[in-house]
Amino acid sequence: MLKLSKKTEYAFMAARHLALNNSGHYSTAKEIAENYRIPYQLVAKVLQNFTKSEIVTSFQGAKGGYKLNRSPDNISLIDIIKAVEHNYQVTECMQQNNSRSTCSHLDCCKIRDPLIEIQRKIENVFEQTSLKQIL
């Protein structure tokens, strides 16, 4: 319960690696996978998600790889989470397509509103932490 997915862990690790890289070449999925013993395919997907969210720019082909688009202090952990996870809500009824009215409990469960506040505070924790802070 309340656990981050492996995908998000790998996303944090990959983002951190990209932020620290100043070796001249673009960082690759292979490099990150080997460096931290993460399954290659999973890092690859994470990096593709980063590209879609415009956190990084990708370069295809030989000598290709990824580079960060913004400086690490301008990227928050919530940006990274949103790039790789659709659902990071504390309850089902806060996920898209759900609402008070889809609640299966009689007259809703009565704790939805306070939990929305909890959700807001937890998101805030990740919002307030920048990539720079985890280097």
Residues that bind DNA (CB under 7 A): 1, 3, 5-7, 28-30, 39, 41-42, 44-45, 47-48, 51-52, 58-66, 87
Choose among DNA, its own copies, none what residue 58 binds, the Cβ cut-off being 5 to 8 Å by kind.
Answer: DNA
Any idea how long the chain is? 135
Choose among its own copies, DNA, none what residue 125 binds, the Cβ cut-off being 5 to 8 Å by kind.
Answer: its own copies
Tokens 């924790």, residue? 125
Number of Cβ atoms within 10 Å of the Cβ of 96 = 8
- 63 touches its own copies (CB under 8 A): no
Number of Cβ atoms within 10 Å of the Cβ of 89 = 17
d(CA 77, CA 130): 6
- 22 touches its own copies (CB under 8 A): no
Q: How far is the CB of 61 from its own copies (least distance, A)?
A: 28
